[in-house]
């Protein structure tokens, strides 16, 4: 199995560079002996970033953006899923993940199976799904799952009702792809087909005309061989607020979303501030605002898990001098 991510160096947002530095450092610490890391780069990468990759044994290549998916902001993600040879098994990941364990158990999943974790929330309406099936002949797998956002809403409203989703729809942060070219071909073709159908219609939305995920859901439906990844392989801030796992049970933390802050990140502490701001605003602030919905033990456990995640990342920042690397990167942005 090879781990691959796609880094777009065209935006000037330092979040992408902070993320990739954390990803690489955690890969070196915990995953490198078992699975190589390959980074596909679009745009012009800073020389300081490439020196960092080379110093740690990361494979990288420059690629042209996918012109056929120009209308999808994350369309270049698919560049990372294209195997170099038929025997290659790819785990396609977002830039904003952090490895906490060695992942050897993922390497035991059959190579013809697609594996992914549930999306944070439902994004395609029942009417849109009906048209995708009736008009386009495409459909996702039918499997019941519960979106973390709905579980959180129920927790805050103190209700026992939990809406079951019937259409398999995964989060794109960690995707274990099946071997072979057919799956990637279907994913790309379905993105284009669905966007062309909905564009400019009353049911047009970002999720059907500017996203690669509905095309992925229908490609999974065509492929048929699928299994859910457990939450620990794509652990996001809603999972922490739901207190689903302890720190020791998390294999991959996925830092979805951008940390909100009141001012610019200080030049001398780029990655450190990124990590601190992320966990403060994504979890700790929300935990404090909703303290009354948790019992004392759960409230303490959530805070502990968040702090342990932040501490692990700060140790990586120190060990690999990520703030200094980021300072050099920023000189060319």
Residue 87: per-residue pLDDT = 87
Question: 167 by DSSP, 3-state: which?
Answer: strand
Q: Are the beta carbons of 119 and 147 closer than 8 angstroms?
A: yes
- Would you place residue 161 in the very low, low, confident or very high pLDDT band (cuts 50, 70, 90)? low
Region 97-107: mean pLDDT is 95
Q: φ, ψ for residue 5 (rounded to 5)?
A: -135, 155
The tokens describing 312, both together, are: 């692990």
More confident residue, 146 or 65: 65
Q: φ, ψ for residue 38 (rounded to 5)?
A: -125, 135
Region 152-172: mean pLDDT is 77
Q: Are the beta carbons of 225 and 281 closer than 8 angstroms?
A: no
Distance CA(212)–CA(71), nearest Å, equals 10
- Would you place residue 122 in the very low, low, confident or very high pLDDT band (cuts 50, 70, 90)? confident
Region 248-254: mean pLDDT is 98
CA dihedral in degrees (228, 108, 83, 218; nearest 10)?
Answer: -20
Residue 113: per-residue pLDDT = 98
Q: Are the beta carbons of 103 and 256 closer than 8 angstroms?
A: no
Residue 290: per-residue pLDDT = 83
Distance CA(164)–CA(228), nearest Å, equals 15
User: In sequence order, what are the beta bridge partners of 8?
Assistant: 42
Question: 150 by DSSP, 3-state: which?
Answer: helix
Residue 153: per-residue pLDDT = 79
Centre a 10 Å sphere on the Cβ of residue 149 and count the other Cβ atoms it contains. 13
User: In sequence order, what are the beta bridge partners of 46?
Assistant: none
Residue 194: per-residue pLDDT = 98
Q: Is the pLDDT of residue 166 over 60?
A: yes
- Would you place residue 265 in the very low, low, confident or very high pLDDT band (cuts 50, 70, 90)? low
Nearest-5° Cα angle at 70, 120 to 50: 80
Strands 170-176, 226-228: pairing is unpaired
More confident residue, 14 or 77: 77
Region 126-138: mean pLDDT is 97
Region 74-81: mean pLDDT is 95
CA 148 from chain center: how many Å?
15
Distance CA(209)–CA(159), nearest Å, equals 34
Distance CA(28)–CA(37), nearest Å, equals 9
Q: Are the beta carbons of 142 and 167 closer than 8 angstroms?
A: yes
Region 309-314: mean pLDDT is 98
Q: Are the beta carbons of 176 and 313 closer than 8 angstroms?
A: no
Nearest partner of 277 among 287, 265, 268, judged by Cα: 265
Give the model confidence (pLDDT) of 199-213 as tens digits.
Answer: 999 999 999 999 999
Nearest-5° Cα angle at 81, 174 to 189: 110
Residue with tokens 């386009």: 136
- Would you place residue 268 in the very low, low, confident or very high pLDDT band (cuts 50, 70, 90)? low
- The pTM assigned to this predicted structure is 0.94
Centre a 10 Å sphere on the Cβ of residue 62 and count the other Cβ atoms it contains. 12
Q: φ, ψ for residue 40 (rounded to 5)?
A: -95, 125
Mean pLDDT value across the chain: 92
Residue 14: per-residue pLDDT = 85
CA 29 from chain center: how many Å?
20
- Would you place residue 73 in the very low, low, confident or very high pLDDT band (cuts 50, 70, 90)? very high
Question: 203 by DSSP, 3-state: which?
Answer: coil
Helix/strand/coil percentages in the chain, nearest 5: 50, 15, 35
Distance CA(26)–CA(316), nearest Å, equals 7
Strands 90-93, 2-8: pairing is parallel
């Amino acid at each position: 199995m090879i781990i691959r991510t796609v880094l777009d160096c065209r935006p000037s947002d330092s979040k992408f560079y902070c993320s990739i530095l954390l990803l690489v450092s955690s890969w070196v610490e915990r995953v490198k002996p078992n699975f190589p890391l390959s980074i596909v780069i679009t745009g012009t990468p800073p020389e300081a970033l490439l020196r960092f990759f080379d110093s740690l044994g990361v494979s990288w290549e420059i690629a042209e953006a996918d012109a056929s998916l120009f209308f999808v902001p994350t369309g270049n993600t698919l560049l990372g899923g294209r195997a170099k040879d038929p025997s290659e098994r790819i785990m396609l990941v977002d830039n904003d993940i952090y490895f906490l364990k060695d992942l050897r158990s993922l390497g035991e999943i059959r190579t013809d199976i697609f594996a992914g974790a549930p999306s944070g929330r439902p994004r395609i309406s029942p009417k849109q799904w009906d048209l995708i099936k009736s008009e386009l002949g495409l459909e996702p797998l039918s499997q019941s799952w519960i979106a973390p956002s709905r579980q959180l809403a129920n927790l805050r409203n103190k209700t026992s009702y939990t809406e079951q989703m019937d259409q398999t729809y995964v989060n794109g942060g960690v995707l274990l792809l099946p071997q072979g070219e057919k799956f990637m071909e279907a994913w790309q073709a379905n993105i284009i087909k669905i966007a062309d159908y909905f564009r400019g219609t009353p049911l047009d939305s970002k999720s059907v005309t500017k996203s690669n995920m509905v095309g992925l859901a229908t490609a999974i439906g065509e492929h048929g061989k699928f299994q859910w990844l457990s939450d620990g392989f794509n652990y996001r801030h809603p999972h922490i607020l739901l207190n689903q796992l302890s720190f020791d049970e998390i294999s991959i933390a996925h830092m979805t979303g951008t940390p909100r802050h009141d001012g610019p990140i200080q030049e001398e502490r780029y990655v450190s501030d990124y990590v601190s701001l992320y966990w403060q605003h994504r979890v700790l602030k929300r935990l404090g605002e909703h303290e009354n919905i948790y019992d004392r033990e759960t409230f303490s456990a959530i805070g502990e898990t968040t702090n342990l995640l932040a501490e692990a990342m700060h140790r990586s920042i120190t060990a690999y001098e990520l703030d200094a690397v980021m300072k050099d990167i920023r000189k060319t942005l």
